[in-house]
Amino acid sequence: MKHLAFILLLIICFSCDSGEEKAYEISSSAFGTTYYIKYFASEEQEIQRGIDSVIYAFNRSVNTYMAESAISKINRGDSTVVVDSIFRGVFDLSEKIYEHTNGFFDPTVGVLRNAYGFGDVEPMKEIDPDKLDSLRKYVGFEKVSITSEGTVRKLSPHIYLDFNAIAKGYGIDYMGAYLKSEGITNFLIELGGEVLVSGTNMATSRPWIVGIEAVRSELDNRSLKQSIFLQDEAMASSGNYRKYRIDSLSGKKYVHTINPHTGMAEEGDITSASVVAADCATADAYATAFMAMGFNRAKILLNNSEGLEAYITYLDSLNNEKVFMTPGIKERLPSD
């Protein structure tokens, strides 16, 4: 889902490094966006090839924009594809979050996203509510499963899997795992506005600081709403204020976050959701789910969940802009 209407800005100190550890950086493109990695080591490491290998593996497995990826073949009806560990990991975590969010996070919503024009196939030229309603029978993650042979079973060939709201975060987690396998334990990875950090920013001897972008921040002149400390965790954000479609006939605005229960792509009361979790895939998925379920449901879920923290901007009943922070977010606010 999304991506990424709501972008994290990184506040990174480039001052002189302390001790023997020095700061090194690489940046490039992946998953339709750009990434940046800063890490500390006694000497520069040759990590580019390893990172490229991670990206290649993810593209071959769960990238719907690649015609020969496993997920694209499955979406076209190929029932012989045996999925790899990446696909299975994304699938299993998606199933867990689907159940925990009561279906508000649902990778089978791809058939509706395509129809609205936010996917990777030809959209409807005109928004047709009856057509959209007929597509809802192909939505529901309980309608897909992985067989004992490792193939994907769909109850209908029209079911379209789309892991875009979790796969990017999962890919960042894999990048982090690769860095740790190379002995790098203090690093920051930012990809398309999502962030994973490990250890500390050794330039400051403090936890990493990341910034949450203001809702009305311009692409060419970005501004921050808030900054928070992160250590050995991840943060991902979602919002609807940049990616949307205006219907040419009705003039109605449709946003890229779709409610799987109603099939509607209408703006809710949440304007942005930034989620902190132990891993980026989880943060990525819940940020999308909160946008779909609305503020009251999101608040209840957060109050009854462990390991999730969130910074949410929303509109109250009088259309006033409000901010909600879980206690864990407040604890991460810089004191100076």
Q: Give the CA radius of gyration of the chain.
A: 20
* CA–CA gap between residue 281 and residue 229 (Å, rounded): 19
Q: What is the pLDDT tens value at each position of the chain, 336 positions in all?
A: 443 333 344 444 443 444 578 999 999 999 889 999 999 999 999 999 999 999 999 999 999 999 999 999 999 999 999 999 999 999 999 999 999 999 999 999 999 888 877 776 676 666 677 788 888 999 999 999 999 999 999 999 999 999 999 999 999 999 999 999 999 999 999 998 899 999 999 999 999 999 887 665 444 444 457 899 999 999 999 876 545 444 445 555 455 688 899 887 777 889 899 999 999 999 999 999 999 999 999 999 999 999 999 999 998 989 898 999 999 999 999 876
Residues contacting residue 200 through CB under 8 Å, at least 6 positions apart: 186, 206, 207, 208, 231
Maximum Cα–Cα distance for the chain, whole Å? 65
Amino acid found at 187: F
* CA–CA gap between residue 172 and residue 178 (Å, rounded): 10
The 10s digit of each residue's pLDDT in 238-261 is 876 545 444 445 555 455 688 899
Q: How far is CA 311 from CA 66, 84, 105, 299, in A?
A: 33, 34, 18, 11
The SS3 assignment for 302 reads helix
* CA–CA gap between residue 217 and residue 214 (Å, rounded): 5
Instruction: Please identify which residue in the block is written with the tokens 């132990």.
Output: 278
Amino acid found at 63: N
Q: CA angle at residue 320 from 318 to 321, to 5 degrees?
A: 150
The pLDDT value recorded for residue 158 is: 94
The pLDDT value recorded for residue 222 is: 47
The pLDDT value recorded for residue 193 is: 87
Q: For helices 280-293 and 85-100, what crossing angle results, to 10°? A: 40
Q: How far is CA 227 from CA 157, 263, 294, 311, 331, in A?
A: 45, 34, 24, 11, 12
Q: Which two tokens stand for residue 112?
A: 């509706």
The 10s digit of each residue's pLDDT in 201-238 is 999 999 999 988 766 544 444 445 789 999 999 999 98
Question: What b/e string do you get for 133-162 counting C-beta neighbours within 10 Å, with b at 16 or more?
Answer: eebeebbbbeebebeeeeebebeeeebbbb
Question: HEC states along 143-192?
Answer: HEEECCCCCEEECCCCCCCCCCCCHHHHHHHHHHHHHHHCCCCCEEEEEC
The pLDDT value recorded for residue 149 is: 97
The pLDDT value recorded for residue 18 is: 45
What domains can be seen in the chain, in order of their start residue? Answer: 8-331 (3.10.520.10)
Neighbours of 253 (CB within 10 A): 13
Pick from 206, 165, 199, 203: which is nearest to 62 by CA? 165
